[in-house]
Chains A and B, each alone.
Chain A
Amino acid sequence: MSAAGEQLGGRAILDPALAPPFPVAALAVLRDPQLRKNVAHAIDVIQGKRARLVAEKPDWQALRAAASWIKDEALRNLGLYLEEFEARCTAAGGVVHWAADAAEARRIILDLLREEKASEVIKIKTMTSAEIQLNPFLEAAGIGVYETDLAEIILQLGEGEPSHIVVPALHVNRSQVREIFARRMGIRDLPDDPQALTAAARQYLRGKFLRVPTAISGANFLIAETGSVAVVESEGNGRMCLTLPRTLITLAGIEKVLPRFQDLEVMLQVLARSATGERMNPYTSLWSGVTAGDGPERFHVVLLDNGRTGILARERERQTLRCIRCAACMNACPVYRQTGGHAYGSVYPGPIGAILTPQLEQLRHSQSLPYASSLCGACFEVCPVKINIPEVLIDLRAQVTDRQRRRAGRFFDPLYLGLRAANLIFARAWLFHGAQWMGRMGLRLFTRKDGWIHALPGVGGKWTETRDLRGLPQQTFHEWWAARKTGTEGTREQGNKRAEAK
Chain B
Amino acid sequence: MSASFSREVVLDRIRRATPGAAASGAALAEAYGAQPQNYIRCGAMSAGERVELMMQRLREYDAEVVECAAEELARTIATQLAASGRWRFVAPPGLPSEWLAAGFDWRIDEGLTAAEIEGAEGVVTAAFCGVADSGTIVLHHSASEGRRVLTLLPDWHLCILRASQVVETLPEYFSRCAAREQGSGVRDQESGNEGTREQGNEKMGTEGRWTREERTKRLPSLVTWISGPSATADIEMTRIKGVHGPRFLHVILVKD
Which residues of A approach B to under 8 Å, CB–CB? Answer: 38, 41-42, 45-46, 58-59, 62-63, 65-66, 69-70, 73, 75-84, 88, 92, 97-100, 104, 108, 148-151, 154, 167, 169-170, 173-174, 177, 194-195, 197-198, 201-202, 205-206, 209-210, 225-226, 228, 234-237, 239-240, 242-244, 254, 259-262, 264-266, 268-269, 272, 276, 278-289, 291, 293-295, 303, 305, 309-310, 312-313
Of all chain B residues, the one with the shortest Cβ separation from A261 is: B219
Which residue of B6, B14, B25, B224 contacts A309 across the interface (Cβ within 8 Å)? B14
Measured between beta carbons, the chain A residues less than 8 angstroms from B40 are: 58-59, 62
> For chains A and B in complex, what number of residue pairs have CB atoms within 8 angstroms?
266
Asked, given contacts A66-B39, A73-B32, A209-B244, whether A285 binds B223 with beta carbons under 8 Å apart, the answer is yes
Contact A280–B136 (Cβ < 8 Å): yes
Asked, given contacts A198-B232, A236-B230, A265-B170, whether A76 binds B21 with beta carbons under 8 Å apart, the answer is yes
Asked whether B236 is an interface residue with its Cβ less than 8 Å from the other chain, the reply is yes
Asked, given contacts A194-B238, A201-B243, whether A280 binds B149 with beta carbons under 8 Å apart, the answer is no
What is the CB-to-nearest-CB distance from A9 to chain B, in angstroms, rounded to a whole number?
A: 25
Asked whether B36 is an interface residue with its Cβ less than 8 Å from the other chain, the reply is yes
Asked whether B102 is an interface residue with its Cβ less than 8 Å from the other chain, the reply is no
Q: How far is the CA of A82 from the CA of B22 in the complex (A)?
A: 13
Asked whether B129 is an interface residue with its Cβ less than 8 Å from the other chain, the reply is no
Q: How far is the CA of A77 from the CA of B136 in the complex (A)?
A: 32
Contact A305–B13 (Cβ < 8 Å): yes
How extensive is the interface on chain B, given as a class? 35 or more
Asked, given contacts A69-B36, A262-B178, whether A288 binds B222 with beta carbons under 8 Å apart, the answer is yes
Contact B115–A210 (Cβ < 8 Å): yes
Q: Using a CB-CB cutoff of 8 Å, which residues 181-233 of chain B contact chain A?
A: 208, 212, 215-216, 219-233
**A-B pairs with beta carbons under 8 Å apart, 29 shown:** A65-B36, A69-B35, A76-B18, A80-B21, A82-B11, A97-B3, A98-B6, A167-B233, A198-B235, A198-B242, A225-B219, A228-B221, A234-B233, A235-B243, A239-B148, A239-B224, A254-B10, A262-B175, A265-B41, A278-B227, A283-B226, A285-B225, A287-B223, A293-B111, A294-B147, A294-B149, A295-B147, A295-B148, A312-B17
Q: How far is the CA of A117 from the CA of B221 in the complex (A)?
A: 29
Measured between beta carbons, the chain B residues less than 8 angstroms from A291 are: 221-222
Contact B18–A283 (Cβ < 8 Å): no
What is the CB-to-nearest-CB distance from A238 to chain B, in angstroms, rounded to a whole number?
A: 9
